[in-house]
Structure 1
Amino acid sequence: MKKILLLSAAATALLGGTAFAADLPMHETAPAPVAAVVQPFNWTGFYAGIQAGYAFGGDDHARYNVAGVPDVSLSPEGFVGGGHIGYNFAPNFLTNMIGSSFLIGVEGDIEYADVDDSGTNTAGLGAYAKSQINWQASMRGRLGWTWDRFLVYATGGAAYADVDVRGGDLFGNTVKKSDDAWGYTVGGGLEYALSDHLTTRVEYRYTDFGDVKANLGGGVREKVDLDTHAVRAAISYKF
């Protein structure tokens, strides 16, 4: 009888302990955190923005068709600033071919310009010349390579400027002529994406507007060779 009572007590204690253990809260090991996948910046799409900078002339000259009248040396310089709009495209098949992120783009800009210079010839014969760029525009292609938010690019295309040319000669003939100057522009820059929609860049461009010609009268003609170097900073909004 005592054995039966002892076995019953042991069974009761065992069952009670099992029930108590079942009532205890379960502590599961938390899963390891999963690192967020950071997507590279997507350069493809339309964008628009504003830019400003400084332009300075190359070795420009005003030449005359009169024998013995030396050239007038001009180096126009001044502020340029305006707006731009463009589109970038990063084709996957080119990226796969060359093993890096390749970008193709097209961009147009228009700018107010206060770029001018004047001078007389060194012989002191009275020849006077002045060139002034009032506003300018360009339509260009862009080719570049991207490293996530960084873009290094080259650019080039057609350029246009509204130009005033003033001149005088030793005979007292003077002229002011407004002309349309067409040429080309080439350069390159570095661009960085500040956010998913804002980018900023620094760019250098050389622009050659060719020759601007003016007739001073009396058979005297003036020809101004006009080209500029320009450094610009810009900010763009990517749509």
Structure 2
Amino acid sequence: MRLLGLTLALGTPSAAAAQAPSSGSTEFLWSGPYAGLTLGYGGSDLEGPGGTRGEQDGRETSVYTGFVWARGQLVFGVEYDLTVNIGGDYVFGDRVEVGSRTAAVDWMTSLRGRMGYVAEDTLVYGTAGLGYSDTVSTGRSYDTGYVLGWGLERRLAGRWAWRGEALYWGFSPDGATDRVEIDDAWVVRLGLARYF
């Protein structure tokens, strides 16, 4: 009879729930590949021939994918993102005047490492890596720089999580006389991620 009682107890939903990983476990969510979409707001500083300057700001959209590894409450990973403006011609809106020219950031992208800490279904992380940008004026300027930022993810349900993130891109214009280049850019955005 004791064996039968033990078998029935192990088969109950409460026992199964006790054996399942807790929602606060890093392995429950922050482990493996993921993909997501964010919407946000940002801006860029542009530099044209002769040191002329221009500023651009507006909404942006990004898609991202990555992979994370969990070690206890620590999370490590790598992430790639592409920042565009769905429904618009350029990131951050229309072209702006830079001296005698008009220019806009067409798209930006980054490849970054992530490292964070999980507590109570929330991941707080820092991120850094390489950035790349395409700026349109009379021609195109492709610039490489660095990206720094931080973010927060909170588990919603299952393997879904929402995200808040702030990123800064830094570039080094070479003073080109035939085009406009990007000096720096920033974004603040909210999004949704699905872990697989």
In which range does the TM-score fall when normalised by the shorter chain?
0.7 to 0.9
Q: Which has the higher contact order (CA 8 A, sep 6+)?
A: 2
Q: Structure 1 CA distance, aligned partners of 2:160 and 2:62?
A: 17
Residue 237 of structure 1 deviates from its aligned partner by: 0.7
* Residue matched to 2:191: 234
**Paired letter, 1:180:** Y
Q: Unaligned 5+ residue runs, structure 1?
A: 1-30, 65-70, 93-100, 121-127, 166-175, 217-221
Question: Which structure 1 residue ranges, 4+ long, deviate > 6 Å from structure 2?
Answer: none
* Residue matched to 1:123: none
Relative to the length of structure 1, the TM-score reads 0.64
Greater Cα radius of gyration, structure 1 or 2: 1
- Are residues 1:143 and 2:123 paired? no
- Are residues 1:194 and 2:174 paired? no
Residue 54 of structure 1 deviates from its aligned partner by: 1.1
Residue 213 of structure 1 deviates from its aligned partner by: 4.8
Q: Structure 1 CA distance, aligned partners of 2:139 and 2:66?
A: 33
* Residue matched to 2:88: none
Aligned-residue sequence identity (percent) comes to: 26
Q: CA RMSD in A?
A: 2.5
Relative to the length of structure 2, the TM-score reads 0.76
Equivalent residues in 2 for 1:69-218, closer than 5 Å: 71-92=51-72, 101-113=73-85, 114-115=91-92, 116-120=95-99, 128-165=100-137, 176-211=138-173, 213-216=175-178
Q: Structure 2 CA distance, aligned partners of 1:225 and 1:190?
A: 28
Aligned residues: 171
Q: 1:55 aligns with which of 28, 42, 46?
A: 42
**Paired letter, 1:84:** Y
Q: Unaligned 5+ residue runs, structure 2?
A: 1-8, 86-90
Say if 1:212 and 1:226, in contact at 8 Å, map to a contact too: no
Q: Spell out, residue by residue over 1:181-205, the C-alpha distance to the aligned partner (whole angstroms, 9 max, x if none).
A: 1111100011101012101111001
Say if 1:76 and 1:117, in contact at 8 Å, map to a contact too: yes
Q: Structure 1 CA distance, aligned partners of 2:182 and 2:35?
A: 32
